[in-house]
Amino acid sequence: MARVFNFNPGPAVLPDPVLERARDELMDFRGTGMSVAELSHRGKPYMAVAEAAEARVRELAQVPDNYRVLFLQGGASLQFAAVPLNLAEAGQRAGYINTGSWSTKAIKEAQAFCDVQVLATSEATNFDRAPEQATWAACDDAAFVHFTPNETIGGVEFHWVPDVAAPLVADMSSNILSRPIDVSRYGLIYAGAQKNIGISGLTLVIVRDDLLGRARAATPSVMNYALQAGSDSMLNTPATFAWYVAGLVFDWLHVEGGVEAIAARNRLKADKLYGAIDGSNFYSNPARPSDRSLMNVPFTLADAERDADFLKGAEAAGLAGLKGHRSVGGMRASIYNAMPEAGIDALIEYMREFERAAA
């Protein structure tokens, strides 16, 4: 069996120790005689799994006591609708920052549920940056302000936290737990699990207590944060296996030294890769250097005709998932927490060889 270096954007690479533990526990979960996927979500053995995962992520992200952590379904995309349904009245204003594909999708969805005001957009520069707050329009009466701290497709990341009067809502799908965050700066954080948390099917929501209970009457129950919080995310059957895997990933992160340690590693990995790109005339990255993502690194070849050859050679060298998103083309290396530094080294070595051979 040969594991490749997996640069997929999500579902994405998982830590080997997580997969090994899931394998070892699969047939007989901790003496229950059944797999964790066969357990009742309301029984004691599973409740222990659910509670441990929540405790661990609270510890990792230093979640204050006045925030609830929810383990929901529907992906980050369902949150595009759940956020306005829960936090804004029909027709009420909400501020959105548009930094690329994912914020554009969040905006489109929200337009059905509230009065979206785009306070800033980097569209004029082809979504290459996180617009400085000084350039944002004011929106004093906004029910909330939504932004996407890491654009998974464009490879643009906010390395600062906006300061707004309204509750700040962040789609952290592709950079949650990649570095320390001050949760108290946010009203609500959400993230699909399939990048830094585990496998698809689970969405993490961290929401401040005072934002619960405002959902409009027509909000479907499973999308209602207050109802989900009131039933510990078990209003209906949760994504039990994905929740379990999230717990394993959180435990792994704890053993690795937590988010501070992983942040240092992520910085080192990204610096190496951007260094290799910047050090050549053959590869380039489109993002403004100050706003480059540490998680998703898109890059293009000077000659796009060679893209297919590059990808074919990469696969042969055990480097998978490097094809850029279909909307932008080129290449993209997603280098989440679980991507080892050895994967970056192997990618850089392959890039250098490919460039030499192309010369």
User: Of 5, 6, 10, 291, which one interacts with ligand PMP (CB under 6 A)?
Assistant: 10
Q: Which range of residues in 13-21, 170-178, 239-247, 263-271 is near ligand PMP by CB under 6 A?
A: 170-178
Alpha helices in the chain (DSSP H): 16-25, 44-61, 75-87, 101-110, 225-230, 240-255, 258-278, 307-316, 341-358
User: Are 182 and 161 within 8 A, CB to CB?
Assistant: yes
Stretch that binds ligand PMP, among 69-77, 223-231, 253-261, 306-314 (CB under 6 A): 69-77
State which residue, 166 or 191, has the beta carbon closest to ligand PMP. Answer: 191
Q: DSSP assignment, residue 90?
A: T
Q: Which of 54, 109, 171, 291 binds ligand PMP (CB under 6 A)?
A: 171
102 included as an active-site residue: yes
Rounded to whole angstroms, the Cα distance separating 52 from 37 reads: 17
Q: What is the DSSP string of 120-169?
A: EE-GGGTS-S---GGGSPP-TT-S-EEE-SEETTTTEE-SS----SSPEE
171 catalytic per annotation: yes
Decide if 272 is catalytic.
no
Kindly indicate which of the ranges 169-177, 282-290, 334-342, 351-359 contains the residues binding ligand PMP, using the contact rule CB under 6 A. 169-177
In this structure, the number of other CB atoms found within 10 A of the CB of residue 19 comes to 15
Distance CA 267, CA 294 (A): 7
Candidate list 22, 60, 70, 76; residue touching ligand PMP; CB under 6 A: 76
C-alpha span between 81 and 60 (Å, rounded) = 27
For residues 97 to 136, the per-residue mask of contacts with ligand PMP, x marking binding by CB under 6 A and - elsewhere, is: -----x----------------------------------
Taking the C-alpha atoms of residue 138 and residue 231, their distance in angstroms, rounded to an integer, is 37
By rule CB under 6 A, what count of residues binds ligand PMP? Answer: 11
Among 75, 131, 247, 298, binds ligand PMP (CB under 6 A): 75
Residues that bind ligand PMP (CB under 6 A): 10, 75-77, 102, 148, 152, 171, 173-174, 192
